[in-house]
Amino acid sequence: MIILPVDGFVLKGIITDETKTKAGKDFYDRYYYKYNEIGINADKIVTIGEEYSFARNTAITIMIDNEIVYQFLVRPDDEFLDAVAVEAVNETFTYLKEKEKQRKYFTQY
């Protein structure tokens, strides 16, 4: 049984976009659609960031609670972005399920 606060509200399923390039934005769009397609409705905020890497490449990082869940170097190829989006959503789902299991076993004071 979940008891919600009387005077507030809970935001769920938020994904923030901190990408800088077109390839990063394309990945964000694919990730967002796959995330919603699976029906993940987490209490935690998922942040998709992008940083410049070697030469002209960029690295995309998916973070939850300042913890890196998935990271890769971008290639502006549609098939690659689709495959990586599916893999990243699966890693996010696994991470969230593990955190849920841990929360059940640990008592917070």
CATH code for the domain of 70:
3.40.30
pLDDT tens over the chain, length 109 residues = 666 566 667 778 889 999 999 999 999 999 999 999 988 888 889 999 999 988 888 999 999 989 999 999 998 899 999 999 999 999 999 999 998 888 777 665 5
85: domain range?
A: 15-95
- The C-alpha atoms of residue 86 and residue 96 are separated, in whole angstroms, by 15
- The C-alpha atoms of residue 42 and residue 14 are separated, in whole angstroms, by 8
pTM recorded for the entire structure: 0.83
User: Is residue 34 one of the residues assigned to a domain?
Assistant: yes
- The C-alpha atoms of residue 62 and residue 15 are separated, in whole angstroms, by 10
Residue in 84, 91, 79 with CA at minimum distance from that of residue 28: 84
User: Is residue 60 one of the residues assigned to a domain?
Assistant: yes
Q: How many domains does the chain have?
A: 1
User: Is residue 20 one of the residues assigned to a domain?
Assistant: yes
User: Is residue 8 one of the residues assigned to a domain?
Assistant: no
Residues of the chain above pLDDT 70, percent = 89
User: Is residue 83 one of the residues assigned to a domain?
Assistant: yes
